[in-house]
Structure 1
C-alpha cells in the first residue's frame, strides 16, 4: 500500500473521529468560563472583556456611563429596581488577572429583582464578566417568549478561573454562552438573583447571528496526540511493507 493511500485512510479515520466527537457534544446552549482579556485598548482597571470583543458582529455594553441602556440594539429593564442598579464599588467584577475594577461601572442585581435584556436582532453568543460569583445567580435565554435554557451558578461554575483578593478570594471569570445550532438562537436574556447575595456582571458582549456560534470551533490542524497517532499508523504500514520487501528478496536468493 502506498504512503499516499495510508495518508488518505488516516485522514478519513480522523474525519470520522472528529464527527463523532462533535455529534456527541451537541446540546441546546453551551457555555465556557475563561479569564477573559484586557479592555479593547489594553485597560486592566475596567474588568475582564470577552475574547470575542473584536469579532465582527460583536457589540459590547460596558456600563461606564453609569446606566443600563434602554434604547438601541440591547434594551435593559429592571423588574422592580429595588436596590439593583449600575454602580461602582469593591464588588465590581475583577480583571483577567484579578485586577481591581476601579474605573468601570457594572450591573448589580439583588434578591427579588431581575433584569430583562430585549435584543433587536437574534444572537448566537452572549458573554459577561462575572464576579464575585454568588449562589442564586440565574441566566435565562428566550426566543420571543419561548424559554430555550436556564442556567444557575451550580450549572456553570465548576471552577472559577480567577480569585480576586478584593473579593476575599471569591471567584471571578468571563462566562460565555453560545448556540450550538440555528434552533438555539435567542433574542431575550433574563438575569435573576434568587435568595441572598448579589449578581454582579460587567462588559456584556453580544454576537449577532442566526446559526450556531463558531468562535469556539477547534483549529483545522489535528491535535498533537491525533497527529502522533496518524504517524504511528503510517509507520506501522511502512514497516510492514519494508519487511515484506526484505522477505521477498531473501526468498528470491
Structure 2
C-alpha cells in the first residue's frame, strides 16, 4: 500500500470518529420565555410546536406520551399534598409522581418519544424541586439528565430555588440531537406545562463529504510534493 493510500485511509478513519463523537455537554439549558395571562409561560423560541395538555397528554402522533403504569396524569388546579399548579397556570398541566404515591394516577416516569430528531425542547417547570428530573436520549443512548442543581438561575438569582416557576429551554449542542425524553420524580410532584419542541435541521450530506474529499485530495497533493523533493 502506498504512502498516499495509507494517509487517505487514516484521514477517513479520523473523520468518521470525529463525526460520530458526542460533545462533552450534549444539552445546554437556558431560562426564559413569554408570560401568558392564564397559561403560565410559553416558549419564545421561533418555529416550535407546543403541547398544552388541554385535551390530555397525546399518546399518538409525532410526540407520544406514555407511562409503564398507565396514561400520563393531566390535572388542573391544586390538590394539597398531591400536586400544585405552576404559577399563573389556570388550565391543564402534566404531573409526574412516583409509583404508589398518593397522587391520582401515580404513573411513575413519563416518556416522550418523538418520531424525528429534535434540537430543542422547552417546558414551563412549576415549583422546581431537587427530586424532579428530565433526561434526554438519542435512541437508547443517554445524553444528559437534569435536576434543579444543573439549571442556570432564574431572574436575578444565580441558582434555581424550589419556589421558582420557570420556563426552561434545552438546546442540543452543535452536531447533537435527541428523540426521547423521560420526566421522573422521586417525590410529589413534577408539574409542567406548555411542552415545546423543534425539529432538528438536517445538514446537507454533500457538505460533509465535500470537506472530507477536499482534505484527502489536499493530503495526497502534499505527499506527492514531498516525494518529488526526496
The TM-score normalised by the length of structure 1 is: 0.60
Aligned to 2:183: 191
Runs of 5+ unmatched residues, structure 1: 1-24, 95-99, 164-168, 213-253
1:68-87 → structure 2 map (5 Å cutoff): 68-81=57-70, 85-87=73-75
User: What is the CA–CA distance in structure 1 between the aligned matches of 2:146 and 2:202, rounded to whole Å?
Assistant: 21
Q: Verify: 1:204 aligned to 2:198, yes or no.
A: no
Higher helix share: 1
User: What is the CA–CA distance in structure 2 between the aligned matches of 1:114 and 1:26, rounded to whole Å?
Assistant: 26
The runs of 4+ residues in structure 1 deviating greater than 6 Å are: none
Shift of residue 211 of structure 1?
A: 6.2
Query: Number of aligned pairs?
Result: 164
Which structure would you say has the larger Rg?
1
Q: Verify: 1:37 aligned to 2:34, yes or no.
A: yes
1:102-117 → structure 2 map (5 Å cutoff): 102=90, 104-112=91-99, 113-117=108-112
Aligned to 1:144: 139
Call closer, same or farther: CA 1:137–1:211 in 2, change over 3 Å: farther
Aligned to 1:161: 155
Q: Is the 8 A contact 1:62 1:105 kept in 2?
A: yes
Secondary structure at 2:181 match in 1: strand
Shift of residue 162 of structure 1?
A: 9.5
Q: Verify: 1:60 aligned to 2:50, yes or no.
A: yes
The TM-score normalised by the length of structure 2 is: 0.65
Runs of 5+ unmatched residues, structure 2: 1-22, 79-83, 100-107, 204-230
